[in-house]
C-alpha cells in the first residue's frame, strides 16, 4: 500500500467507501424506477450484478495484496475511474511473483500517471485481470497522456511489465507466475 498517501486505507475505511458506492448505485436504480424507466433500471441492475461477479472472480488471481489494490484503485487514485473485468480460474498453488513488489510497482506507476493526468478529462482505466493455472496477467488501458514513462519492458523475478503506446491509448501489461 502507498506510504505517500495521506492516510493508510483501513478495513473500516474501505467498508465505508464500498457502502457509499453501493448506496449510490441503489439510489440511481431507484431514481430510474421512480421515473418509470423500468428497462433502464433493469439494465443498471444487471450491469451492477456483472461488476460484482467480476469483483468476485478476482479471488481466482490468488494474490490477495494485488486484489486489494485493484479493489481500492478508484478510492486511491481519484483522478481515474476504473472498469474492471476478471476472468480467472483456481490458482495452481502459490504465485512465484512477489505480491508486494507488484503492488509497489502498480502504486508507483499510477501515482506517476495521476500526477500528469488532466483532472478535467475522462480518465477511465479499463482493467482486465486473467489467471489460468500458474500464469496471471493484469492489463490497464487508459487515454494517452504526456507522461515520462521511460521504459517499454521491465523484467523482474517471476513477472514482467510492458507498455504499448498509441496516439490515443496506453496499455500496461503486467504478467507473471
Q: What is the pLDDT confidence band of residue 122, given thresholds at 50, 70 and 90?
A: confident
**Strand 135-143 relative to strand 153-156, pairing:** unpaired
Q: Is residue 70 part of a domain?
A: yes
Residue 7 pLDDT more than 60? no
Is residue 13 a contact partner of residue 68, using CB atoms and an 8 Å limit? Answer: no
> What pLDDT is recorded for position 4?
42
Q: Is residue 159 part of a domain?
A: yes
Alpha carbons 133 and 177: distance in angstroms, whole number: 9
Q: Is residue 136 part of a domain?
A: yes
**Which residue is it, cell 496516439?**
167
The number of folded domains in the chain is 1
Q: Is residue 92 part of a domain?
A: yes
Residue 24 pLDDT more than 80? yes
CA dihedral 112, 79, 45, 52 (to 10 degrees): 30
Q: Is residue 2 part of a domain?
A: no
Domain holding 88: CATH number? 3.30.565.30
pTM: 0.78
Domain range for 164 is 11-176
Amino acid at each position: 500500500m502507498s506510504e505517500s498517501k495521506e492516510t493508510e486505507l483501513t478495513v473500516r475505511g474501505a467498508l465505508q467507501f464500498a457502502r457509499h458506492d453501493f448506496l449510490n448505485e441503489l439510489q440511481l436504480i431507484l431514481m430510474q424506477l421512480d421515473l418509470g424507466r423500468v428497462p433502464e433500471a433493469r439494465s443498471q441492475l444487471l450491469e451492477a450484478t456483472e461488476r460484482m461477479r467480476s469483483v468476485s472472480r478476482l479471488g481466482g488471481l490468488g494474490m490477495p495484496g494485488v486484489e486489494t489494490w485493484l479493489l481500492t484503485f478508484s478510492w486511491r487514485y481519484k483522478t481515474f475511474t476504473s472498469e474492471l473485468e476478471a476472468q480467472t480460474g483456481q490458482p495452481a498453488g502459490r504465485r512465484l511473483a512477489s505480491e508486494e513488489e507488484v503492488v509497489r510497482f502498480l502504486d508507483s506507476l499510477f501515482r506517476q500517471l495521476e500526477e500528469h493526468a488532466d483532472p478535467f478529462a475522462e480518465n477511465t482505466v479499463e482493467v482486465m485481470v486473467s489467471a489460468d493455472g500458474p500464469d496471471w496477467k493484469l492489463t490497464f488501458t487508459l487515454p494517452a497522456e504526456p507522461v515520462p514513462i521511460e521504459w517499454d519492458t521491465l523484467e523482474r523475478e517471476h513477472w514482467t511489465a510492458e507498455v504499448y503506446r498509441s496516439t490515443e491509448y496506453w496499455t500496461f501489461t503486467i504478467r507473471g507466475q
